[in-house]
Copies of this chain bind each other. A is one copy, B any other.
């Protein structure tokens, strides 16, 4: 990807993990309501994701978009996820298509499928369990935030089918800098290290795909999300594992 990459929600945790590992490899344009703490030499756009004109301006000349902006709270109220996550995401897709953007990676979430866990926990968090979600299943959101992420995935499907935009939706697990506590089984099963997060989104910028839904977790011993599709289509090669506590 030689053209500039627009990173929305750049100041958030996922944005910082992505920048941390790919800082010097792309011409970044960082968009956020809050200016990033350390933007280095990158171009910064301070704007709300629901500000259509600002989003359209920010798309100028962009080759790919990583769209993270939105209300990240699992318990966010409907009014906020409707506006920031659903309407905001439609604004980003529409502007990307109009600007001739090639690829868009959308930050979806484990909360889009959280209710698959309801009848199966805690067994599915454990190594012996072979229950797997692989991205072909229908969403089962565990909260309205998860509903908004599932809606963003459907919007991506539409903008791919209708306008030929390459779209990958990454259902991000539990992104933390350090290993999750050994007794937090769910967190262990869906851990995504900062290093693997940066690498995964780098693959979203470099690989060729049509429309994909993949899971974003490290190569944990415990897991109930399949990472096979991310490996196969994106060339994802995770290096971390929540079971290796001294890694």
Contacts and interface: CB of A to CB of B under 8 A. Distances in A.
Interface of A: 78, 82, 86-87, 90, 94, 115, 118, 136, 138-144, 146-147, 150-151, 154-155, 157-158, 161-162, 213
17 contacts: A78-B90, A78-B94, A82-B90, A90-B144, A118-B161, A136-B138, A138-B138, A138-B157, A138-B213, A139-B154, A141-B158, A142-B158, A142-B161, A142-B162, A144-B158, A146-B158, A150-B151
Contacts of A213: 138
Contacts of A161: 115, 118, 140-142
Contacts of A142: 158, 161-162
A142 B138 CA distance: 18
Identify whether the interface residues of A are mostly helix, strand, loop, or mixed: helix
A187 to B, nearest CB: 21
Indicate the member of A78, A94, A213 with the most B CB atoms within 10 Å.
Answer: A78
A147 B89 CA distance: 13
B157 A141 contact: yes
A201 to B, nearest CB: 23
Given A142-B162, A147-B158, A151-B154, 15 more contacts: A78-B90, A78-B94, A82-B82, A82-B87, A86-B151, A90-B144, A115-B162, A138-B157, A140-B161, A141-B154, A143-B158, A143-B162, A144-B158, A146-B158, A147-B154
Nearest to A82: B87
B151 A115 contact: no
A136 B138 CA distance: 7
Contacts of A115: 157-158, 161-162
Contact of A82 (B78, B86, B144, B157): B86
A157 B136 contact: no
Contacts of A139: 154, 157
